[in-house]
Amino acid sequence: MTVRLSLDDLPLRAELRGQTPYGAPQAPLPIALNVNENTHPVPEDVADDILDAVARALREVNRYPDREFIGLREAFAEYLGHGLSASDIWAANGSNEVLQHVLQAFGGPGRTAFGFAPTYSMYPILARGTGASWIPGHREADYTVSAESAAEQVDRIQPDVVFLCAPNNPTGTPMTLDVIEAVYDAAPGMVVVDEAYQEFAPRDTPSALTLLPGRERLVVSRTMSKAFAFAGARVGYLAADPAVIDALRLVRLPYHLSALTQAAATAALRHAPTMLRMVDEIVAQRDRISATLDALGYDPSPSWTNFVLFGGVDDPAAVWRALYDRGVLIRDIGIPHSLRVTAGTEDETTAFLDALASLESGA
């Protein structure tokens, strides 16, 4: 009989011992609102155009893809605006790989990465995976962070890489540009503003992209997973000074973006106005969730994202399980007395709210 090895039997790096891989529960439930996906399907006409683009790319799939993915970078630059060009853009297989490239280039052994906790759970995992040490900062009780506090913490820690999730995951909290400017002025190294949920912020909200000119250590990352309903395609990107892009070339694997990925993402970007119309509906459902949670006696945090974190949950594990048993999957992200739910379609949102209300009524 073969004895199965454990991690303790392997010569694993010391900083990885005792760690667990990222993982949100996956279950075949009818209502899955736990990982902040855009639950709306890609519109049929957009899907048809993407399929045509992928089919054309398949005809030359025997050849390596464009290593510099120039066409896709040009498409991202046009989408973002702000005077950006292809030389200011980088992309990879999901924003996690984009952030990993940043850490590989500017973090690593003997260096530190920093963010204001609670924040995106992948930051410490990516930091440890690339050999850097993760140092958590703190937020106020309402999950905000002021420019003064942010600058003081960064100045005291002197991290090599700072991650600012704006708006923040898992709390939905916005971050104003004065905080980003204060952090940049205090930081000795790279400052990464993760705008994965920027499209869900109020339309007149300025992006950190406006701060890029003259700030060569500033990086603004985005994803196609949320607003573009492209989570399964795994496409993330960033904007930064061209010198930063050159640094990321040093650590990327050759031909890291497949020809099929490039074709699909470029085609989707051609339909940006159509794709972004879904955002308005998602925001409406997010606000509906917040209002109903408040009426039910919970404490929803203000959110500029496609999800709502709500407190006032006496037993999060029990509520999570009761919703699970009713066919609704949400997320327990480890914040005491709190749970997080993604804003889905109108029907999905109704199913969640009805299931939660049934717990209150004992139905």
Here the CATH number for the domain that contains residue 247 is 3.40.640.10
Residue with tokens 């004992």: 362
Q: Are residues 203 and 191 in the same domain?
A: yes
Q: What is the pLDDT of residues 255-270, one digit of tens each?
A: 999 999 999 999 999 9
| 159-195 residue pLDDT tens | 999 999 999 999 999 999 999 999 999 999 999 999 9
Residues 227, 282 within the same domain: no
User: Nearest to residue 80, comparing CAs of 233, 261, 210, 231?
Assistant: 210
Residue ending a domain, choose from 253, 270, 287: 270
29 and 54, same domain (yes or no) = no
Residues 38 and 66 in one domain: no
What is the rounded distance in angstroms from the CA atom of residue 79 to the CA atom of residue 286? 25
Q: For 338-348, how does the pLDDT look when each residue is reduced to its tens digit (9 = 90+)?
A: 999 999 999 99
Q: How far is CA 358 from CA 152, 206, 309, 346, 351, in A?
A: 46, 40, 19, 18, 11
pLDDT tens for 34-85 read 999 999 999 999 999 999 999 999 999 999 999 999 999 999 999 999 999 9
Helix axes 259-270, 272-295, angle to 10 degrees: 80
Average pLDDT, the chain: 96
pLDDT at position 319? 97
Cα 248 from Cα 104, distance rounded (Å): 8
Give the residues across from 237 on adjacent strands: 91, 222
What local confidence, expressed as pLDDT, does residue 19 receive? 83
Check which CATH number belongs to the domain holding 31 and give it.
3.90.1150.10
- pLDDT given at position 22: 81
Number of domains in the chain: 2
Q: What is the pLDDT of residue 337?
A: 98
Give me the amino acid identity at 327.
G
Q: Which pLDDT band, with edges at 50, 70 and 90, does 15 fall under?
A: confident
Q: What pLDDT does 269 receive?
A: 97
- pLDDT at residue 6 above 70? yes
Structural domain boundaries, residue 290? 23-42+274-361
Domain co-membership, 32 together with 83: no
Same domain, 128 and 196: yes
